[in-house]
Amino acid sequence: MRRRGAVVVALTVAWAALTGVRAAAQMASPTPNGSAILVRVKAGLRAHDRPPYVVYTLARHDHVNGVPDFLNSYTLRVWCRTADNAALSRRARGAHAFGAAEFITPAFDKPIDPGPPTDDLLDVIRQTQGNATPTPTPDPAAPRVIGSVSVVIETSYHVTYAGVDGNDHHLVLEARRDPDRNRLTDLYVDRTTYVLHRAIAHDHMYADGRDIPERFEIDFGLLDGIPIITTIHGQTDYRTLDAADSGAPQHEVDYRFEDVAFPPTLPEWYFEPAQYGAHKAEFPS
């Protein structure tokens, strides 16, 4: 009996020690800082210059109550100048563009199709050339700086770390101000590379003279090392406007950005609709 009691005591001590090691490990691995992760995502986006031009195919497919809406489904081939999102577009079938040229300015949360695929939803403020602050000449008499502390502050959003989703960090965002502009609600970021994989944002569907809230699920990819939007799934429930109208339709839309390319230049007349008439024979296909 004494021997068995000694074994029980030894096992109890070992289990307590193991539990203490686990607790210490958990204390040594604090919850990641959501704001710090978002700052790293922004830094990664800043590391890539936005291409001056992007050419892409936009395939749009609408559904109302699960039934395809062919009237509002179409495919466009788009030639876009990213400095102002001015673009020439033509209807497309597969890789072939046809018909009249139309001038558009694709944008998010506007009464126009979203895009272009290089659009920066995080509204990253890039450094502008020629406005750099000169570095002052060090004063030899000044005391030496031994160390400094940098504080990560995310000014646009309050960021909460929501945990791990597969291989991604999941961040929940709440706009600190101007929610109509800062419309992101969720980000999914690669845990190793901090590349943005997926985002959820508020948008609107503009129909019947109304601005109807719409939820966008946006997937991202990389092309030539440049982050691009690959797909968007939008969902709108008209009942958000009138909860009593149980028969209100539910609208869904899917966008696919395909055949994306970054030409070094495009003709200037592409972005001057008044010149389209003189260049009918030169419309890009």
Closest CA to 42 of 125, 116, 159: 125
The tens digit of pLDDT for each residue in 106-159 reads: 999 899 999 999 998 776 433 323 333 334 444 444 445 455 445 555 678 999
When mean pLDDT is compared across 43-52, 99-108, 158-167, 211-220, the lowest value belongs to: 43-52
194: left (phi over 0), alpha (psi -120 to 50) or beta: left
Estimate to the nearest angstrom the gap between the alpha carbon of 122 and the chain centroid. 6
- pTM comes to 0.78
Q: What is the reported pLDDT for 152?
A: 56
Instruction: Look at the block and give the residue holding tokens 């109302």.
Output: 64
The tens digit of pLDDT for each residue in 49-64 reads: 889 999 999 999 999 8
Question: For a pLDDT cut of 90, what percent of the chain falls above it?
Answer: 56
Mean pLDDT of 176-205: 92
Domain around 70: 31-110+153-282
Measured distance CA(55)–CA(150) in Å, rounded: 40
- Secondary structure of residue 153 in the 3-state scheme: coil
CATH number of the domain enclosing 169: 2.50.20
Query: Is 2 domain-assigned?
Result: no
In this structure, what is the dihedral angle of CA atoms 63, 120, 183, 171, given to the nearest 10 degrees? 100
Query: Is 158 domain-assigned?
Result: yes
Query: Is 219 domain-assigned?
Result: yes
Number of domains in the chain: 1
**136-169 in b/e burial notation, b at 16+ Cβ within 10 A?**
eeeeeeeeeeeeeeeeeebebbebebeeeeeebb
Query: Is 144 domain-assigned?
Result: no
CA 95, 99, 103, 104 dihedral sign is negative
Query: Is 130 domain-assigned?
Result: no
Q: What is the reported pLDDT for 150?
A: 52
The tens digit of pLDDT for each residue in 72-90 reads: 999 999 999 999 999 999 9
Query: Is 122 domain-assigned?
Result: no
Contacts of 124 (CB under 8 A, 6+ apart): 42, 45, 46
Query: Is 115 domain-assigned?
Result: no
Q: What is the reported pLDDT for 179?
A: 83
pLDDT tier at 22, thresholds 50, 70, 90: low
Query: Is 24 domain-assigned?
Result: no
Mean pLDDT of the chain: 82
- Secondary structure of residue 62 in the 3-state scheme: strand
Mean pLDDT of 93-109: 93
